[in-house]
């Protein structure tokens, strides 16, 4: 991928495609809003997301909420004291 592709303006189509590609029944952020919310309201929220993400790209910095994540450990069956489980 050329550098131009990495720095070009986002499009509404790209935002919508990204929302549709998100895994179902997942919470994409720490706020717990499920993917289903974004997918059912894609047409309504895509313009707002495009504005927010485009502004972040122009400024060269992200908002605090975009830099947070939540990791949940889900143990496998077996001895939970073993790192592989």
In a domain, 59, yes or no: yes
In a domain, 83, yes or no: no
Query: What is the model's pLDDT at position 18?
Result: 94
- Consecutive 10-residue runs of the chain (85 residues): their mean pLDDT? 75 95 76 86 95 88 75 79 78
In a domain, 9, yes or no: yes
What pTM value is reported for the model? Answer: 0.66
Q: What is the dihedral of CA 48, 51, 2, 66, to 10 degrees?
A: -70
Q: What is the dihedral of CA 36, 27, 11, 4, to 10 degrees?
A: -150
User: How many domains is the chain partitioned into structurally?
Assistant: 1
Query: What is the model's pLDDT at position 29?
Result: 67
In a domain, 35, yes or no: yes
Residues 5, 29: Cα–Cα separation, whole Å: 26
Query: What is the model's pLDDT at position 40?
Result: 93
In a domain, 38, yes or no: yes
- Beta-carbon neighbour count of residue 46 at 10 Å? 19
Domain coverage including residue 7: 3-67
- Residue 52 token pair: 């927010």
In a domain, 73, yes or no: no
Residue 16, SS3 per DSSP: helix
In a domain, 81, yes or no: no
In a domain, 80, yes or no: no
Query: What is the model's pLDDT at position 45?
Result: 95
């Amino acid at each position: 991928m050329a550098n131009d592709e990495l720095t070009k303006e986002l499009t509404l189509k790209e935002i919508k495609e990204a929302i549709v590609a998100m895994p179902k029944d997942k919470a994409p952020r720490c706020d717990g809003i499920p993917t289903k919310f974004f997918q059912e309201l894609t047409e309504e929220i895509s313009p707002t997301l495009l504005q927010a993400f485009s502004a972040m790209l122009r400024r060269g910095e992200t908002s605090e909420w975009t830099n947070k994540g939540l990791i949940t450990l889900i143990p496998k069956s077996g001895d939970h004291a073993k790192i592989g489980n």
